[in-house]
Amino acid sequence: MDQSLREMRDTFASGRTRSVKWRKTQLEAIIEMVKDNEDKMCDVLFQDLGKHSTEAFRDELGFVMRSATTALNCLDKWVVPKKVRTLYYAHI
């Protein structure tokens, strides 16, 4: 775990991130995966938690799909660099 954490921190510090295209592909894949496996996921949620399929979709699957869809639709806007004003605090 320490090695993984170091690698993640090193990658973050390097400024390298995945492309917007890659991220969109991943979000699209999440949406398709949920759509393609909705019945199976609802069955599992019923077996594990006793959730009716309507409740499972509303609370679990629909939430994931809405979140992924929102991210997909907003990603271009979210990745635009913004200048922000920073405050300077002198060390006393």
- Taking the chain (92 residues) in runs of 10, the rounded mean pLDDT of each run is 86 80 94 96 94 92 96 94 78 62
- Give the residue among 57, 75, 56 at the shortest CA–CA distance from 18: 75
* CA pair distance 51, 90, nearest whole angstrom: 56
* CA pair distance 77, 70, nearest whole angstrom: 11
Per-residue pLDDT at 82: 84
Per-residue pLDDT at 91: 65
- Give the residue among 84, 40, 86, 41 at the shortest CA–CA distance from 64: 41
DSSP 8-state code for residue 19? -
